[in-house]
Amino acid sequence: MSGQRDSGTEAASASVTEGSSGAASSAAADADQFHPELSTGRRRKKRGHLYELDFVRLVTFAGVILDHCVSGTTMPTNVASNAVQSLLHYTRNSFFALTGFVLVYQYRDKKMDAKQFWRRRYKYIGLPFLFWSVFYWLYKYTLLWPPYFGDIASGFNSVDATLTSFKTLLYNLCTGESWYHLYFVFCTMQVYLIFPFALWFLRRTWGFHKYILAASLAFHLVVLHTMSNPRPDFFSHGLALKLWNHLPETMIPYQFFTVAGMIAAMHFDAFRPFVVKWRIWIAAAAVPAGVISVAYYLHLTTFKFPPMAANVFRPYTVLWFVACIMMLYALGTLWTDRRKPGTFLAKFFDRAADRAFGIFLVHGLALQELAPTIQRFRFELYQPIVTVVAYIATVLITVAITEVLRRSPISLVTTGREMIPRSEQNTRNVLLYAGALVVIGLIMQYPLEMPGGILLWAAGAFLAVCTVVGTAVAARRVAA
């Protein structure tokens, strides 16, 4: 769902905030009473970066893009592709587990000022959510979709049309539905809203976390069972109906993985050594879990439409999701133990963690622009080949655009990260990169007739303008 160095949407390493704000803030004062491990000395100790989370995050983001590429390059009735997607659906729950884990890891033994927490977190996630919601809202008008069929003006050519368009935007902002992947950002903001109180609760219930986790799992299974069956009568009217229609855009179906991540981080000093000790077996356990999950999916396809059988909200998926997330974390600890600072792989993971949230936000645009090209070859080539090529192209275009955004003045609102300082950018190399994007994009769009080329040449031109103007402004300031 939470990129960056600390979570799917954890924008930057949180600073220690002091103060108090109701129950959420007083939690730290009660920490020693209800959480004996947390001494005052430890509370002042700065927590180190968990490189295993970079590994989990990178694999999970790669899985999200692959999931969407499989969906966009295969037929809905394809049993095999839906089997793959049923496994890749772990990604959204992995994001929520990461979000809960990182938040508690950062704040479990620190004083919490809820207002400061919300101000900081919503700055780094709320601004990108707002920007991309508006962007994708406008972008839809350029597509050959009803009701405007590519005619942007028709959405604003009268008072009624304009009001309808802005009502749609407001609806999108309130539901996270401007584009199919923004629901995760919307749900993450819900997690942020309750986190100070959740942390207070976990501190006050120290010693009872296993029961809380068990209750969370039981509630989770009830929710999934309800969501994967015909709608109950209770949800047929009024606000209950609206909740039912938008349940996937709330944190309710994902609360178990969020709570599990929080509790794991609360017991980090015991949790990580346990995973390290048994990581071979933990990783191996994911194999039978995946086999069981696919086998049950295949059983369901004998009397259900494949997409329905692969529905992410079916209870049978929980075993695989938990096993997969634990496997990735176990492998992540292996990466951490063998990581050598300064090596290519270490730098690669560091940069990938920094760009991850931006890549997540941009990839939907890249895949949509590649859609016409995908359709040209969808029925002419072997489908797995189309999927693999589409995946590689989507990743390359997405990363290229994200690199542009990170070096531009709009980095914060588009990637959740402050712009890379101009002093750290090599002007010559940046301009060469921008020029290469323009050339490649133009070749894609015209000789190759790939509409997605516009993303590259437009991004390259934008980066060139930002670099030239930024360099000129900086030089003028120095001269002054």
Strand, helix or coil for residue 345: helix
Provide the residue ranges of all domains of the chain, joining segments of one domain with +. 22-352, 426-480
- Return d(Cα 258, Cα 277) in angstroms, integer: 24
Q: Is the peptide bond before 307 cis (omega within 30 degrees of 0)?
A: no
pLDDT score of 46: 56
Phi then psi for 249, rounded to 5 degrees?
A: -95, 10
pLDDT, tens only, 309-333 = 999 999 999 999 999 999 999 999 9
pLDDT score of 19: 37
pLDDT score of 433: 96
Single pTM value for the model? 0.87
Amino acid at 294: V
Per-residue DSSP letter, 48: P
- Return d(Cα 435, Cα 167) in angstroms, integer: 40
- Return d(Cα 405, Cα 403) in angstroms, integer: 6
Amino acid at 478: V
Per-residue pLDDT tens, the chain, 480 aa: give them: 444 334 344 433 333 333 334 444 443 334 333 333 333 334 444 567 899 999 999 999 999 999 999 999 999 899 999 999 999 999 999 999 999 999 999 998 889 999 999 999 999 999 999 999 999 998 988 875 666 556 777 788 889 989 999 999 999 999 999 999 999 999 999 999 999 999 999 999 999 999 999 999 999 999 999 999 999 998 999 999 999 999 999 999 999 999 999 999 999 999 999 999 999 999 999 999 999 999 999 999 999 999 999 999 999 999 999 999 999 999 999 999 999 999 999 999 999 999 999 999 999 999 999 999 998 887 778 889 999 999 999 999 999 999 999 999 999 999 999 999 988 999 999 999 999 999 999 999 999 888 889 999 999 999 999 999 999 988 888 887
Amino acid at 395: V
